[in-house]
């Protein structure tokens, strides 16, 4: 059954698509695009019900992100990234959730999670400094999730390495304009943010290991299976869903444009078996990517619902498939782009934007296949994974 949010996205789909070029030109989402996304409720899908959200099944979240990305890749990407943050916030001290959502349940939180800052311990919390690139949607967010290393009190990482996620209000960080000049996903506005000696109360922090395997949910006594899912399964979900949705959008435009296209030989493309074969194969590959991504997170959710623990083998399998889904879908997009004709490269043709957006999305670190593919056979052999590898599985 389709979630109501997906239905609202489809209703506003034509307008979202019409705004895509403006978003790319602005280098961030337009106010109208954000208004449509807020009205649909995409970012509230994984937000707890008690704070105005839906506490939805992760499948519904993935399908909503794909639906947005089919119309505008940048908007879908922001939904996939920003939309997972309410899920993590639900696992933190409830005081923070009240600060963020009591006045406005539609408050958005940006991120980047890479530990580019040092959080020095002080009485009651930490003092944080650093600079983080790739803060998607930051212009429309009032808070930011940032990755940080626990410091030694002198601005240097303490040993052994400890990674935290910290949450700061907009007043405690600076968004640096001019730092998002890119070839694809331009409309995401993934700018740099800078923090200079901001105090972060301890209740606005969480250790990465706590959310890595659902330990934070257990510590808080959360009963909803949604919040017991592993971070390295949930965080990639929205990003890969956006990439698949982008590929679905490109395929739809390709088929629409080929219907009446005449090749240089004078043959109508709809009578060219080679182009049609490629389109059919690409459609099957993109559909397989969608099904496998949703199946993986759904099986993990069902496992938690049934009271069975999620093992490192389970996590490695989901990550392996999630990475493969993205590469399979983009490879299929490459096949249809190559057969879309010379007009596909014109800036006024949405296909070239989908193609650029998909490749930039594929370059995200969660789509790098090396670690995910390496971890899977090790876990299936019952061998220990290095700590650096476990952190992303």
The answer to whether residue 72 sits within a structural domain is: yes
Q: What is the pLDDT of residues 74-106, one digit of tens each?
A: 999 999 999 999 999 999 999 999 999 999 999
Closest C-alpha to 173, from 205, 141, 151: 141
Residues 345 and 83: their CA atoms lie apart, in Å, by 32
The answer to whether residue 222 sits within a structural domain is: no
Q: Determine the longest span between alpha carbons in the chain, in angstroms.
A: 77
Same domain, 115 and 94: no
pLDDT, mean of residues 195-205: 98
The answer to whether residue 212 sits within a structural domain is: no
Same domain, 233 and 382: yes
Same domain, 249 and 349: yes
Same domain, 41 and 76: yes
**Residue 274 confidence (pLDDT):** 85
**Residue 214 confidence (pLDDT):** 82
**Residue 131 confidence (pLDDT):** 98
Same domain, 188 and 65: no
Lowest mean pLDDT segment, chosen from 189-203, 273-287, 292-306? 273-287
Q: What is the pLDDT of residues 106-138, one digit of tens each?
A: 999 999 999 999 999 999 999 999 999 999 999
Residues recorded for the chain? 393
**Residue 259 confidence (pLDDT):** 83
The answer to whether residue 90 sits within a structural domain is: yes
**Residue 269 confidence (pLDDT):** 72
pLDDT of 324 over the 70 cut: yes
Last residue of one domain, picked from the residues 174, 207, 240: 207
Q: What is the pLDDT of residues 234-289, one digit of tens each?
A: 999 999 999 999 999 999 999 999 888 877 666 687 778 888 899 999 999 999 99
Per cent of the chain over pLDDT 90 is 90
For residues 285 and 324, the answer to whether their CB atoms sit within 8 Å is no
Last residue of one domain, picked from the residues 101, 135, 166: 101
Q: What are phi and psi of 389, to 5 degrees?
A: -80, -40
Same domain, 290 and 339: yes
Same domain, 127 and 44: no
Per cent of the chain over pLDDT 70 is 99
Number of domains in the chain: 3
Band (141; pLDDT cuts 50, 70, 90): very high
The answer to whether residue 202 sits within a structural domain is: yes
194: CATH: 2.40.110.10
3-class SS of residue 333:
helix
pLDDT of 179 over the 90 cut: yes
Same domain, 290 and 385: yes
237: CATH: 1.20.140.10
The stretches of the chain forming alpha helices (DSSP H) are 4-18, 20-26, 31-40, 58-71, 73-82, 85-89, 94-101, 208-212, 215-220, 231-258, 273-305, 312-337, 350-362, 369-380, 387-390
How much is the mean pLDDT over the chain?
95
Same domain, 171 and 308: no
**Residue 54 confidence (pLDDT):** 98
92: CATH: 1.10.540.10
Same domain, 237 and 285: yes
**Residue 232 confidence (pLDDT):** 95
| Residue 134 CA, distance from chain mean position | 12
Q: What is the pTM of this model?
A: 0.97
* Per-residue buried b or exposed e for 119-148, using 16+ beta carbons within 10 Å of the residue's own CB: bbeeeebbbbbbebebbbbbbbbebbbbbb
Same domain, 360 and 286: yes
Same domain, 302 and 267: yes
**Residue 264 confidence (pLDDT):** 63
Which residue has tokens 């993934």? 190
The answer to whether residue 213 sits within a structural domain is: no
Query: With the C-alpha atoms ordered 139, 145, 148, 154, is the resulting torsion angle positive or negative?
Result: positive
pLDDT of 334 over the 80 cut: yes
The answer to whether residue 299 sits within a structural domain is: yes
Lowest mean pLDDT segment, chosen from 36-40, 217-221, 234-238? 217-221
**Residue 265 confidence (pLDDT):** 67
**Residue 258 confidence (pLDDT):** 85
Last residue of one domain, picked from the residues 82, 101, 120: 101
Domain with 287, as residue range(s), is 229-390
3-class SS of residue 319:
helix
For residues 118 and 156, the answer to whether their CB atoms sit within 8 Å is yes
- Greater confidence, 262 or 346? 346
**Residue 342 confidence (pLDDT):** 86
The answer to whether residue 260 sits within a structural domain is: yes
If you ran DSSP here, which 8-state letter would residue 308 be given? Answer: P
Distances, alpha carbon 346 to alpha carbons 24, 341, 349, in Å: 15, 10, 5
């Amino acid at each position: 059954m389709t979630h109501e949010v997906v239905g609202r996205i489809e209703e506003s789909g034509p307008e979202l698509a019409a705004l895509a070029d403006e978003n790319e030109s602005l280098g961030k989402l337009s106010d109208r695009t954000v208004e449509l996304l807020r009205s649909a409720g995409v970012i509230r899908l994984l937000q707890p019900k008690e704070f105005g959200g839906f506490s939805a099944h992760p499948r519904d979240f993935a399908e909503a992100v794909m639906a947005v990305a089919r119309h505008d890749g940048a908007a879908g990407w922001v939904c996939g990234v920003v939309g997972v943050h309410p899920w993590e916030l639900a696992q933190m001290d409830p005081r923070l959730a009240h600060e963020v959502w009591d006045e406005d349940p539609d408050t958005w939180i940006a991120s980047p999670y890479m530990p580019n800052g040092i959080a020095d311990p002080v009485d009651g919390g930490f003092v944080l400094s650093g600079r983080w690139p790739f803060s998607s949607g930051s212009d429309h967010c009032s808070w930011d999730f940032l990755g940080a290393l626990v410091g030694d009190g002198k601005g240097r990482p303490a040993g052994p390495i400890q990674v935290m996620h910290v949450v700061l209000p907009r007043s405690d960080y600076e968004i640096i304009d001019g730092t998002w000049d890119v070839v694809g996903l331009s409309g995401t506005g993934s700018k740099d943010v800078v923090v200079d000696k901001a105090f972060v109360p301890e209740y606005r922090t969480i250790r990465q290991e706590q959310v890595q395997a659902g330990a934070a949910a257990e510590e808080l006594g959360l009963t909803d299976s949604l919040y017991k899912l592993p971070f390295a399964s949930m965080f990639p979900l929205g990003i890969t869903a956006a990439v698949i949705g982008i590929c679905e959008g490109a395929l739809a435009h390709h088929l629409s444009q080929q219907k009446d296209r005449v090749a240089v030989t004078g043959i109508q493309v709809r009578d060219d078996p080679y182009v049609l074969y490629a389109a059919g194969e690409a459609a099957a590959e993109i559909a397989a990517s969608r099904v496998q991504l949703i199946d993986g997170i759904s099986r993990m959710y069902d496992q938690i619902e049934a009271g069975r623990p999620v093992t490192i083998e389970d996590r490695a399998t989901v990550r392996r498939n999630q990475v493969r889904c993205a590469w399979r879908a983009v490879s299929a997009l490459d096949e249809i782009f190559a057969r879309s004709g010379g007009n596909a490269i014109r800036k006024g043709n949405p296909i070239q934007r989908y193609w650029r957006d998909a490749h930039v999305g594929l370059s995200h670190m969660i789509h790098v296949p090396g670690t995910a593919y390496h971890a899977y056979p090790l876990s299936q052999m019952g061998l220990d994974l290095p700590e650096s590898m476990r952190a992303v599985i």
